Amino acid sequence: MILIIIQIILIIILFGLIIFLSEHFFNILLRGFAPFIATRSGIIDKIVNELKLSREDVVYELGCGKAGFLRVMRRHYPKNKLVGIEYLYTPYFISRIQNSFLKNKLIIKRENIFKADIGKADFIYCYLNILAMKKLSPKFARECKPGCLVISFQFLIPEKDAQKILKVSKNEKVYFYKY
């Protein structure tokens, strides 16, 4: 009996893993989404230390995954509106579960980053890939309000000059773009 239960659990885990990998493969290959890779906490701390937010500023994280960037931002800026946008089901649900334990809630939306309304953001953080940044470039130019700061870990926004480049390690950079 115990052996059957273990087999059922393993089948459920395997099935979940197949769905997770299939979803990621489809979205990366066919939709140009970035893979689910989180920004390391040390990098997030360096980025947050560069920012000076007023209480009214709104921060978005596009492709938020588990919303690690926003959770660190929440510790530094407990009163600000922090919005995560994630399309993939697995990281979206993980971020929702983790968010349920926070005192000051984040806003986590399951939405396509290429279709999301970003017009209210004062700061936008992205750790995506070069294809996603290329697709987002005209969206930023069209929808970002004047003065919005777009921050990208590792990937340039094509045909846009960075206002600042922060070297966070030997081979890693954070790009700051003002719109």
What 3 state SS string does the chain have?
A: CHHHHHHHHHHHHHHHHHHHHHHHHHHHHHHCCCCCCCCCHHHHHHHHHHCCCCCCCEEEEECCCCCHHHHHHHHHCCCCEEEEEECCHHHHHHHHHHHCCCCCCCEEEECCCCCCCCCCCCEEEECCCHHHHHHHHHHHHHHCCCCCEEEEECCCCCCCCCCEEEECCCCCEEEEEEC
Q: What is the pLDDT of residue 26?
A: 60
Q: What is the pLDDT of residue 167?
A: 95
Strand 58-62 with 123-126, pairing = parallel
Q: What is the chain's pLDDT, residue by residue, as a tens digit (179 residues)?
A: 888 888 888 888 877 777 766 666 665 555 555 556 778 888 999 999 999 999 999 999 999 999 999 999 999 999 999 999 999 888 898 899 988 887 778 999 999 999 999 999 999 999 999 999 999 999 999 999 999 999 999 999 999 999 999 999 999 999 999 99
CATH T-level fold of 41-178: Rossmann fold (3.40.50)
The pair phi, psi for residue 101, each rounded to 5°, is -90, -5
